[in-house]
Amino acid sequence: MTNMMTVDRRALMAAFGALALPQFARAASSGDYKNLQAFIDSYVTPKKLAGISVAILRGNDPVQYLNGGTLAFDTPLKVTPDSIWRVYSMSKPVTGMAIMKLIEDGKLTLDTPLSTILPDFKDMRVRVAPNSADTRPATKPILIRHLLTHTSGLGYALPGNTSPTALAYIKNGIVPGSRQVEKTEGADFAPARNLDEMATRVAKLPLDFEPGSRWQYAVGIDVLGLVVQKLTGKTFYEYLRANIFEPLKMHDTDFVVPRNKLNRFTSVVAARPIGRLEVVEDRKNSAFARDRDIMSGGGGLVSTARDYARFNAMLLNEGTLDGARIVKPETVRIARSNLMEAGVKFGGQNGFGAAMQVILPGGARPGQEPAGSYGWFGIAGTQMFVDPTNKFSVVTMLQMNPTSLPVQADYKVAAYKDFAAVR
């Protein structure tokens, strides 16, 4: 733990020091967020989406919720703050903070080699050139920080990715978060059904580049779920439940939707030609209601706007909420700092922290959020950001996979327009 703090303190204190709570003239109410409500209406009223739920955190104000539409196009049940959504890759910040808690507890450091916990990753090989079939021994080990920041050299079998690594992952059944159980066309194996099996398969495949040398979205966050299991002796879900979900009263966040909660579950649509929407994950027959699957820390959680707002509130409060301390303030500050190696950037000029994008000075700012803001999103359109400078945060829940609408930019622009107006 001491080594980790020493390594990161310089960058941390330069850009992400402790921030005083902003003083607001008055508390905001839901009626103050007219632009965010217009954002919801612009998608729900013309039936571009069935429903949207937004949670807004600002200073010490009570959390405000804006909702529109229904759980699906085939039901009259209205969206509420307690509607349940597949957050997909918005699972990653939760996994990131689980790892940061283990670092705080002295179980590992940011610079712990992965192979000391998972020996299968000891002698990795790396492609000699992008997309090359030829490989050589890797000269650097995969570190925990590389997994957190997507700089490990591992790959991802995402829709539309036809790289040799992505195809090799599909062939070997490395598709965590997909909820697939049957072997797909062209695959040699059915999808891995637990984290041990998944990691063993991943470790046999070559890296795309030397660990730490560049950013590439990857399956590393799922590997970190197995790291949690090995270090704690608990299943990944058991650890999350005991150390994050229960203390924060995130009662509906899980890797499965129990039968008694299905009446609050949403459906996922996809855009098809000629403006047609097709249901691709039906609330009435969902794989997320089957079991906890592989407990994918990279894309397997379901949650609600209310639950995820409590997670964000903990981050805004630097590790605590309603008297429950999840991590220390310094741990949150490290998690939201740029943890990539020198010279590596994400999305042009931004950084990456504990499984979340970090806005750096001069970096891209869709809603003009200040440097130091951070967050991430899910493939079906769920999004979150935290702005520690202004003590401002927004969670947006919707379900379109893949999201072919400009919701990520739209909700941030709307959020900061409202923030400026009510301030």
pLDDT at 23: 57
pLDDT value at 274 more than 70: no
Average the pLDDT over each of 12-26, 135-149, 170-184, 367-381 and give the range with the smallest value. Answer: 12-26
For 206-259, what is each residue's pLDDT tens digit?
999 999 999 999 999 999 999 999 999 999 999 999 999 999 999 999 999 999
Q: Considering only CA atoms, which of 219, 226, 197 is closest in space to residue 115?
A: 226
Specify whether the CB–CB gap between 44 and 381 falls below 8 A: no
Can you tell me the distance from the alpha carbon of 405 to that of 199, in angstroms, rounded to the nearest whole number? 34
pLDDT value at 423 more than 90: no
Can you tell me the distance from the alpha carbon of 411 to that of 381, in angstroms, rounded to the nearest whole number? 11
Which residue in this structure is represented by tokens 């036809």? 162
Pairing between β-strand 320-321 and β-strand 302-303 as defined by DSSP bridges: unpaired
Token pair for residue 66?
Answer: 């804006």
pLDDT at 74: 97
Contacts of 19 (CB under 8 A, 6+ apart): 388, 389, 391
pLDDT value at 10 more than 90: no
CB atoms within 10 A of CB 210: 17
Average the pLDDT over each of 111-120, 122-131, 272-281, 315-324 and give the range with the smallest value. Answer: 272-281
Can you tell me the distance from the alpha carbon of 199 to that of 100, in angstroms, rounded to the nearest whole number? 21
E strand or H helix at 396, and its extent?
strand 392-397
Mean pLDDT of the chain: 92
pLDDT value at 12 more than 50: no
pLDDT value at 4 more than 60: no
pLDDT at 122: 98
pLDDT at 368: 84
Instruction: Name all domains of the chain by residue range, CATH numbers in brackets.
Output: 2-95+236-422 (3.40.710.10), 110-232 (1.20.58)
With cut-offs at 50, 70 and 90, classify the pLDDT of residue 14. very low
For 77-105, what is each residue's pLDDT tens digit?
999 999 999 999 999 999 999 999 999 99
pLDDT at 364: 76
pLDDT at 75: 97
CB atoms within 10 A of CB 8: 22
pLDDT at 367: 80
Across the chain, which distance is largest between two alpha carbons, in Å?
63
Specify whether the CB–CB gap between 52 and 380 falls below 8 A: no
pLDDT at 404: 79
